[in-house]
């Protein structure tokens, strides 16, 4: 008996060429799912497919702009044509490039952020929905951010990531009767190649220490840790979970920064067994 959690399932992962999307695709492949990676980055997407196949998984890449309705319809059609069904949709593609403070962005940049980080989820979910219903249900997983929960910065990006909560709940409420579940993952700061470059280019030691101080676990997350959360939401282990948000942030949204907590509550020394 195959004990893998997604054995026989078919998953579409957008933004799967690197980072969180790649980690989700490879994790799902290892758990028995057939994977279609959708991304504008063909080189990275094909590399992800090779990684899945190297572990004896089944995967394919389709170059896709998730903000383009025709592209989205084409990739969903490609999934169904290749595998005959679609069980899991991971709406992971997104980005914050070009965004900033309210007084520094214009209407076009605002619109671009909403289209990439919110409208794309609508397009992919709408295209996938009939196929999930035809297969007696499925799991939609929308990758948001702690920016949707806290006023951290990035005006359009944060608004879009927050909008995913309402969107996902409506999908959950309206289509649960057909076996379709819809949930959101909210990652905190996750280590990636792009973040590493940004840290090297822009962050001094003091800024990095201040960032780490916001996290009770004292570090940034790993893409694989978000992938584990996605696996839970994709699998039957979350069969009664829908319309909710799973926060994967090392405690960032749990309370105050660590230095302030130490000063307020005298917790700079760990408890000891007496």
How confident is the model over 49-87, as pLDDT tens digits? 999 999 999 999 999 999 999 999 999 999 999 999 999
For the cut 90, the answer to whether the pLDDT of residue 238 exceeds it is yes
Beta bridge partners of 19: none
192-225 pLDDT, tens digit per residue, is: 777 777 777 777 888 888 888 999 999 999 999 9
Residue 9: pLDDT over 70? yes
E runs forming strands in 64-122: 88-91
Residues with Cβ < 8 Å from 231, sequence gap 6 or more?
5, 6, 24, 27, 28, 31
**The one catalytic residue among 157, 175, 178, 215:** 157
Band the pLDDT of 265: cuts 50, 70, 90: confident
Q: Which two tokens stand for residue 217?
A: 């676990």
- C-alpha closest to that of 179 among 239, 126, 246: 239
Contact 86, 80 (CB under 8 A): yes
Residue-level pLDDT at 43: 98
| CA–CA distance, 251 with 266 (Å, rounded to integer) | 19
What's the sign of the alpha-carbon dihedral 110, 113, 119, 123? Answer: positive
CB 129 within 8 A of CB 176: no
pLDDT > 70 in the chain, percent: 100
pLDDT in tens, 94-107: 999 889 999 999 99
Query: What string of DSSP letters covers 145-200?
Result: -GGGTS--S-HHHHHHHHHHHHHHHHHHHHHGGGTEEEEEEEE-SB--HHHHHHHH
| pLDDT mean over 134-144 | 97
Round the average pLDDT of the chain to a whole number and report it.
94
End-to-end CA distance of the chain: 49
pLDDT of the residue at 261 = 84
CA 168, CA 109: separation in Å to the nearest integer? 24
- Residue 5 is predicted with a pLDDT of 96
Which has more confidence, 265 or 172? 172
Nearest-10 crossing angle of helices 107-114, 155-175:
30
Q: Coil, strand, or helix at residue 52? A: helix
Q: What is the pLDDT of residue 186?
A: 98
Q: pLDDT tens, 33-52?
A: 999 999 999 999 999 999 99
User: What pLDDT score does 33 carry?
Assistant: 98
Q: Is 240 a catalytic residue?
A: no
pLDDT of residue 1: 63
pTM summary value: 0.94
Q: Which residue has the higher pLDDT, 12 or 195?
A: 12
pLDDT category, 264, cuts 50, 70, 90? confident
């Amino acid at each position: 008996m195959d004990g893998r959690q997604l054995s026989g399932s078919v998953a579409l992962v957008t933004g799967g060429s690197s980072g969180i999307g790649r980690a989700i695709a490879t994790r799902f492949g290892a758990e028995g799912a057939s994977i279609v990676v959708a991304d504008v980055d063909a080189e990275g997407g094909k590399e992800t497919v090779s990684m899945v196949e190297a572990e004896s998984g089944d995967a394919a890449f389709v170059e896709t702009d998730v903000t383009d309705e025709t592209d989205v319809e084409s990739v969903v059609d490609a999934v169904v044509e290749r595998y005959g069904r679609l069980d899991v949709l991971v709406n992971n593609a997104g980005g914050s490039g070009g965004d900033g403070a309210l007084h520094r962005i214009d209407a076009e940049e605002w619109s671009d952020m909403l289209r990439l980080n919110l409208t794309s989820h609508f397009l992919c979910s709408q295209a996938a929905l009939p196929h999930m219903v035809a297969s007696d249900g499925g799991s939609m997983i929308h990758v948001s951010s702690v920016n949707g929960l806290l006023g951290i910065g990035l005006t359009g990006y944060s608004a879009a990531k927050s909008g995913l909560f309402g969107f996902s709940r409506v999908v959950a409420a309206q289509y649960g009767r057909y076996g379709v579940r819809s949930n959101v993952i909210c990652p905190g700061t996750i280590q990636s190649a792009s973040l590493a470059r940004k840290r090297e280019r822009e962050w001094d030691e003091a800024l990095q220490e201040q960032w780490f101080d916001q996290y009770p676990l004292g570090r940034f997350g790993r893409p694989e840790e978000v992938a584990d959360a996605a696996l839970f939401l994709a699998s039957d282990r979350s069969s009664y979970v829908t319309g909710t948000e799973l926060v994967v942030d090392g405690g960032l949204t749990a309370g105050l920064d660590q230095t302030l907590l130490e000063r307020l509550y005298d917790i700079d020394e760990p408890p000891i067994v007496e």
